[in-house]
Amino acid sequence: MLKLIGNRLLQMLLIMAVVSLVIFAIFDSDKFKRQIAVAELGGFAVSALSDQDYEAWLDRKGLNVPFYDRYIKWVAGVVTGDFGRSFEKAEPVSRLLGDRLINTGILAFWVFALMIPISLTLGIIAGMREGAVQDRAVSFVAVLTTSLPEIATAIVLTVIFALGLQWVPANSAMVNGWDWRQLALPVMTLVLYDCGYVTRMTRASMAEVMTSQYIRTAVLKGLPHRRVILRHALRNALIAPFTIIALQLNWILSGVVVVEVFFQYSGFGKLLLDAALFGDVYVIQAATLVAVFVAVISQIISDVGYTFLNPRIRFS
């Protein structure tokens, strides 16, 4: 088991090394350097700049050395915890990214805290009796919410709760300090989309368990229905949803980009998009590494958890 985890982590390091080298090579082109110059000095200034002055500017920014030199320096920095400085915000990347990750972490925490109980309950209720009224109702709602893309959900929720009823603000930029009410719409958007998928998976798993022999035996033994569900069925039915929920961590990092940009919430996703549009290579590097790290870790948690929960796999 430990060997498996070790292997996966090693593979992750290899992937990170490859990815970061590729990103450095990509953002080394003249186009991106000029883009940074235009963003910093203004378009007219750059076109008026003589070649010599441009070179001097590149030199000051440390951009005129070949990308592999910069890469080696960057890797040495990363080992000691220094991720370089942002071109756009003139701030160390580690502090910038840290702040944004905390914001996204808060968002993700509430999404999981709401999504897990809701979707598991709905999924189990639906899967208990396949084809019953409650099953059909839950399945229909689940298909509907997964079919609405985050952007559409965000719009519908904003129009209803922020513009129509005016219960919560439509903008989550938190300009005047932290405001919990501004968190409501982003969290609701992500929960609505995610719930549908996890509910469907839980329902499928529960429905499969309910048709198995040992449940039939338990029912025929004359055990009360409650006891059959709670003590016998749930244990097996919750294994598959666990792995799905762990993988949602990976998905959240994708979904968060749209939601954060739409609601102007300053988190990881918005930082990544802004950095990419600006050509802020050190921020892109760090954000990508975080994304890959979270994705791989969630895959490992999902795999390890599955082996741990399912005795049939553990002992074979």
Partner 1 sequence: MASVEVLATPPAAPPVAAAAPPLTLLKRLQRPRVCIALLLLMWLPLTASVMFGGYLGDAFKTWVLLPAIPATILLYVVAVASWRESPIAIIGVSLVFFWLIAAVTVPFLPLVDPNKPIAPFTGVGIEKNGHLFLLGADFKGRDMLSRVLWGCQRVLVWGVTATLVAYVVGSMLGLMAGYLAKWWDQVISFIANVLLSFPVMVLFILILNYLGASGFNIVIAVTFASAPAIMRIVRGLTLDTKTRDYIFAAQTRGEHPLRIMIYELLPNARGPIIVDACLRLGYTTVAITTLTFLGLGLQPPDPDWGLMIKEAAKVAMLWKFSYMLLIPALSVSSLILGFNLMADGLREMSLRD
Question: Does 186 engage in binding with partner 1 (CB under 8 A)?
Answer: no
CA–CA dist 216, 274 (Å, integer)? 56
Does 218 engage in binding with partner 1 (CB under 8 A)? Answer: no
Is residue 138 within the footprint of partner 1 (CB under 8 A)? Answer: no
Among 201, 284, 286, 302, binds partner 1 (CB under 8 A): 284
CB of 220 to partner 1, least distance (A): 27
Residue 174 found at the interface with partner 1 (CB under 8 A) = no
245 near partner 1, judged by CB under 8 A: no
b/e code 274-286 from CB counts within 10 Å (16+ = b): bbeebbbbbbbbb
CB neighbour burial string for 31-65, b if at least 16 within 10 angstroms, e if fewer: ebbbbbbebeeeeeebeeeeeeebeebbeeeebee
Helices (DSSP H) in the chain: which residue ranges? 2-26, 30-41, 43-48, 51-61, 67-79, 93-128, 133-147, 150-157, 184-210, 213-220, 225-227, 234-237, 239-263, 268-278, 281-309, 311-314
**Residue 92: burial class (beta carbons within 10 Å; 0-12, 13-18, 19+):** middle
Residue in 42, 43, 98, 149 binding partner 1, rule: CB under 8 A: 149
Q: Which is nearer to partner 1, 196 or 228 (CB)?
A: 196
What length does the chain have? 316
Q: From the list 24, 67, 110, 262, which residue makes contact with partner 1 (rule: CB under 8 A)?
A: 262
56 binds partner 1 (CB under 8 A): no
Q: Does 106 bind partner 1 (CB under 8 A)?
A: no
Tell me if 271 contacts partner 1 by CB under 8 A: no
User: Cβ 197 to partner 1, closest distance in Å?
Assistant: 11
- Rounded Cα–Cα distance for residues 54 and 66 (Å): 16
- 155 belongs to the binding site for partner 1 (CB under 8 A): yes
Distance, in Å, from the CA atom of 102 to the CA atom of 93, rounded to the nearest integer, reads 14
Q: Does residue number 45 form part of the binding site for partner 1 (CB under 8 A)? A: no
Q: Is 10 in the site for partner 1 (CB under 8 A)?
A: no
Which of 58, 247, 261, 309 binds partner 1 (CB under 8 A)? It is: 261
Instruction: Give the binding site for partner 1 (CB under 8 A).
Output: 11-12, 15, 18-19, 23, 26-27, 143-144, 146-152, 155-156, 158-159, 163-164, 170-171, 250-251, 253-255, 257-258, 261-262, 269, 272-273, 276-277, 279, 284, 287-288, 291-292, 294-296, 299
